[in-house]
Amino acid sequence: MNSIFEDAQKRLVEVFKHIELTDDVREKLKHPKLSLCVSIPLRMDNGRLKVFTGYRVQFDDTRGPTKGGIRYHPDVSLDEVTSLSFWMTIKCAVMNLPFGGAKGGVSVNPKELSRLELERLSRGYIREIADIIGPKRDIPAPDVYTNATVMGWMADEYAQIKRQQLPGVITGKPVHLNGSLGRDTATGRGALHVLQQWVERNDLRADKMTLAVQGFGNAGYHFSRLAHAAGFKVMAVSDSQGAIFSEEGLDPQKVMNHKEKHKDLRTMLYCDGSVCDLQRYKKLTGHELLGLDVDVLVLAALENQVDKDNVDHIKARHILEIANGPVTSEADVLLEKRGVTVLPDVLANAGGVTVSYFEWVQNIAGFYWDANKVNSRLEKTMVREAKSVFDLSHDKKISLRTAAYLQGVKRIAGAITQQGTHEYFQNE
């Protein structure tokens, strides 16, 4: 199996053709600053002891404390977490946030745990990584199969360890536990702002564009709901169990209402229902959804969903990456040759980390904003950086992904260079 991190690093090859960099920058972007692997002993409800493996990787902190989510998934590995921390480093720089990149995770299927087991696991993970996180060092947030409730447990555990209230250690917390209004919708909302800017720039019309959305978790659901409200026609959505399709279009809110209605009532954390429970719509496989003839294919699930083996199956004219790394580097090249526009993850899904930054600022200041201010500042930031990436792509005649990476790498390189490089010290 190919390394996800090695594939992620291939993105830089094209970027380096368009910028003069000192070898110091190239070298720093090859290696994470810190990689931690921990064992988390968990006493199960039946009394049995089970040990789970957790990770936290801090890739680069040149521009500020590291920032990045924590995911719970059976496939979590050091390779995956390292790749995600690299992407976070680029993403924070693309958005010009004063952060570096990090990521964490636990190899677990959280749906197999009870509420109490999930809380004990979350607190246990924080106990194992507490020495390397903090409001001015490394700030976790939610990711795949973690949410505000989990973040609240983690922030509370950190406070107990440090014997003081430090809400800025974690973002994405519940609102009544010093979270920010607007954080739950931020990733989907930010992705929509990027898509709308692209539509406007290319003289397209939202009400004439069709979408298919892979992934109906937090980000995919909120994006779909907001896109539907903005006039886009959502033709299909999928979750881990399959997909549904309608020629007339779907109402994402009604789909979610149905999914939640049929979830397992024993859990408050995960929706165990499926979009496939909706009998009135045509059912598709996940593979069939990827091949739908729509204007925009929205990838909001996991990494490596479009690769060299299925890229020829893609019929969409545009791809919007809400997940991290859903298109491999090999597929990227083939899509570009076919003229398929890819709105890249390091720009398109940056709404989440942007509002996480807003939450961190509010926590540090002890002064909280209303939802309108959060959403307004998110829109301003997303529009500004999207336009900058689009202009860079046009001026240099490069792909949007290369332009986004170039924007981020320039900012990272500036920070590294101003600390002193090989050239600086040789010319003493």
User: What is the Cα–Cα distance from 180 to 401, expressed in whole angstroms?
Assistant: 30
CB 82 within 8 A of CB 5: yes
The secondary structure of 206-271 as a DSSP string is GGG-EEEEE--SHHHHHHHHHHHHTT-EEEEEEETTEEEE-TT---HHHHHHHHHHTS-TT-SS--
User: What is the Cα–Cα distance from 118 to 229, expressed in whole angstroms?
Assistant: 35
The residues that are catalytic are 103
Rg, the chain, Cα only:
21
The residue assigned the tokens 């398929």 is 340
157-161 long-range contacts, CB within 8 A, separation 24+: 157/122, 157/123, 157/126, 157/127, 157/130, 158/126, 158/130, 158/133, 161/126, 161/127, 161/130
Q: φ and ψ at 11, to 5 degrees?
A: -60, -25
How large is the angle between the packed helices 400-417 and 78-94, nearest 10 degrees? Answer: 80
Rounded to 5°, the CA angle 340-394-98 comes to 95
Tokens of 50: 């089970």
How large is the angle between the packed helices 186-201 and 351-365, nearest 10 degrees? Answer: 130
Strand order in the sheet with 34-43: 34-43, 49-60, 100-107, 66-73, 138-142
Tokens of 200: 């406007």
Encode burial over 265-303: b for 16+ CB neighbours within 10 A, e otherwise.
eeeebbbebbbbebeebeebebebbbbbebbbbbbbbbb
